[in-house]
Structure 1
């Protein structure tokens, strides 16, 4: 875990053989929010991508390296004081050494937060 104690996995389940859904809670007391931004905490986009990487690694039991990200759309600000719970829906397609994922992240109420396609390389 790159950002120690940044989030906690609340629930995780396989949807189909190549997709899963994981709900996490962002830890609003984490030091990253002291600088991003004081008195108005915003979850950094790079931290969101790191969560996707770690959840995918955990699901596949495989170490991965982020090769590329495309169609990255941040659709809502994630303020951990307002909405700390996020649901990640990740569909996986394996292509040799590459793991291609399609991610849809939302708040508990279904409001879209992040959509992206990411390609990882197996380590």
Structure 2
């Protein structure tokens, strides 16, 4: 985990062979929020992309390296004092040494937070 104790996994389930859904709880006391931003905490987008990487690595039991990200859309700001739970819906397509994913992240009530396509290289 790149950001030590930044989140905990609440639930995870495989939807099909190549897709899964994982709910995580962001730790609102994490030091990252002291600088991003003081008195107005916002979950960094790069931290959410890191969570996607780690969840995908865990699901595949494979170390991955970020190759590219496209169509990255942060749709709703994630204030850890208001919404600490995020639901990541990840669909995986493996293509040789590449792992391509489509992600839809939302709050528990279904409000969309992040949509993106990410390509990882297997290590």
Report the TM-score, using the length of structure 2 for normalisation: 1.00
1:54 maps to which residue? Answer: 54
Q: Which runs of 5+ in 2 are unaligned?
A: none
2:88 maps to which residue? Answer: 88
Q: Distance in 2 between matches of 1:112 and 1:69?
A: 18
Number of equivalenced pairs: 123
Question: What value does the CA root-mean-square deviation take over the aligned residues?
Answer: 0.2
Q: Distance in 2 between matches of 1:17 and 1:97?
A: 18
2:116 maps to which residue? Answer: 116
Alpha-carbon deviations, 1:4-36, whole Å to 9, x = none?
000000000000000000000000000000000
Q: Distance in 2 between matches of 1:47 and 1:98?
A: 22
Q: Distance in 2 between matches of 1:24 and 1:112?
A: 15
Structure 1 runs of 4+ with >2 Å offset: none
Alpha-carbon deviations, 1:39-87, whole Å to 9, x = none?
0000000000000000000000000000000000000000010000000
